[in-house]
Amino acid sequence: MAANDRSVSPWLARVPERLDLWWPPLLVLAGIIAMAPLYAPVGLRPSPETVFAVQARTGVLEVQPACGRSLIWDLPAGRVLARDCDADDMEQCGGVRDTVTVTMAGGSTARIEMRADHRWGVTFGRLDGPVCSDAGDSPIRVTADYVELPADALGYFYVAEPASPDAPPPGFSLPLAGRVIVGQFVEFGGGWSGVQSATLSEGRVFGRDVAVGTGERLTLLDEELDPGSIVDTHPRLAGADKGGDEASDRVASGFVLSGPGDMLVQLSQRRSIAVTPYDGVPRRLEVPRWKVWWSSPLLQLVASIVGVFGGLLGLWIASQGGRIAYRQLRHPAEVPEAANHAPQPSTATWPEPNAGGSS
């Protein structure tokens, strides 16, 4: 009849019926969305298993041993100087030694730098303030030619001495442990002739984590370091304060090898590091957990399977809904349960012309 044609759309009228078919997947989707506030903070937090590897060529490097740990360096023959020595004749403050061994405790610092005379120099000093309770009065001890040098208020300076004036300076390979800073800023000139600032010349930072389920190592971050950048294994101390907690006992480890014109550095640090580009601000590098999850081959496989089956299920449900709707439209009497949900004839019908005759 024309009255049914003007009633509410049959498709809209069957929406509740279709929801009956769709409610299981909709319920799952709603549950996932409702739980998002619960797992999002976890997923956004940095992965504690991330290991950052730094490979760099640099002309300068600084290491600060962690509290409670000591770092021992065996250095080749060179000149050793007490930095607080006040003698006019510098030779009175130190001289050439065949063997030099330096023991550094927490609260000390050592800066290796290529100098203007193309020789390697190491400046040993102490950090300001009470850095470590176990540092004692002298966190740096130097043994030269098997004799321990007197303690110095400032520290010591060492420069490698070539075997002959024409020979290249002796090389070295030194272990690194604690806080390590690779590179430095180039300061403004001060009118000091012959003073130069060595910098980081090139390098890369890799962030690697262990894949969930399979245990394979994934490279989740690969960043190139611009010349003049600074890498600091302790972001909070570097001033990169963006979020993240940082245990004070975190220790970076690695080694440094001397080369013909610079040093090759290999470092390893967990959880986070800081990179400061030239003329930039320190930036904390981290890998969030969601990225680790997302990159896991096992989870990718599971997600793919779920996606495929979910898609197939959705298609099946859609097809079922279509079949039922088709049967309801064509053969309403054959679908008695559906008839219960069938729309009742609307009472809001238009008066038919001439219905009931004229009054």
Partner 1 sequence: MNRVVPLVMLVLLPAAVLAQASFTPVPAREYREYFNQPNPVKGEALVGVAIVPDPRAQRSNVLHIFFGEPYEGVLVLETATADGSFRGSGEFAGSVERAGWAQLLLGTDGESRPADPAALAVAARGTAPNELRVVHWGDEPAAEDDLVVRLYVNGRRGDMSVQAAGERFRCGRLDGQRLLRFDMVCDIPWSSIPEDGVVTLVRRDGFNVLPQQVRIAR
Residues that bind partner 1 (CB under 8 A): 79, 81, 83, 86, 90, 94, 115, 121, 123, 128, 154, 157, 159, 181, 184-195, 197, 230, 232, 238-239, 276
Give the nearer residue to partner 1 in terms of CB position, either 203 or 289: 203
Taking a C-beta distance cutoff of 8 angstroms, is the pair 72, 101 a contact? yes
Q: At what angle do helices 297-330 and 15-44 cross, to 10 degrees?
A: 170
Give the nearer residue to partner 1 in terms of CB position, either 16 or 129: 129
User: Residue 236 Cβ, how far from partner 1 at the closest point, in Å?
Assistant: 13
Give the nearer residue to partner 1 in terms of CB position, either 107 or 121: 121
What does the angle CA 176 – CA 181 – CA 184 come to, to the nearest 5 degrees?
140
Which ranges of the chain would DSSP assign to H, the alpha helix? 2-5, 10-13, 15-44, 235-238, 289-295, 297-330, 336-341
User: Residue 203 Cβ, how far from partner 1 at the closest point, in Å?
Assistant: 17
Taking a C-beta distance cutoff of 8 angstroms, is the pair 208, 51 a contact? yes
- Taking the C-alpha atoms of residue 67 and residue 75, their distance in angstroms, rounded to an integer, is 23
Classified as helix, coil or strand, 265 is strand
Query: How buried is residue 174: exposed, middle or buried, by Cβ count under 10 Å (0-12/13-18/19+)?
Result: buried
User: Residue 73 Cβ, how far from partner 1 at the closest point, in Å?
Assistant: 17
User: Residue 227 Cβ, how far from partner 1 at the closest point, in Å?
Assistant: 17
User: Residue 191 Cβ, how far from partner 1 at the closest point, in Å?
Assistant: 5
User: Residue 306 Cβ, how far from partner 1 at the closest point, in Å?
Assistant: 48
- Taking the C-alpha atoms of residue 30 and residue 33, their distance in angstroms, rounded to an integer, is 5
Q: In what order do the strands lie in the sheet with 71-75?
A: 71-75, 100-104, 140-144, 147-148
What does the angle CA 38 – CA 41 – CA 45 come to, to the nearest 5 degrees?
145
- Taking the C-alpha atoms of residue 329 and residue 55, their distance in angstroms, rounded to an integer, is 71
User: Residue 154 Cβ, how far from partner 1 at the closest point, in Å?
Assistant: 7
User: Residue 256 Cβ, how far from partner 1 at the closest point, in Å?
Assistant: 19
- List the end-to-end C-alpha distance of the chain, in Å, as a whole number: 24
Secondary element (H or E) of residue 52: strand 51-58
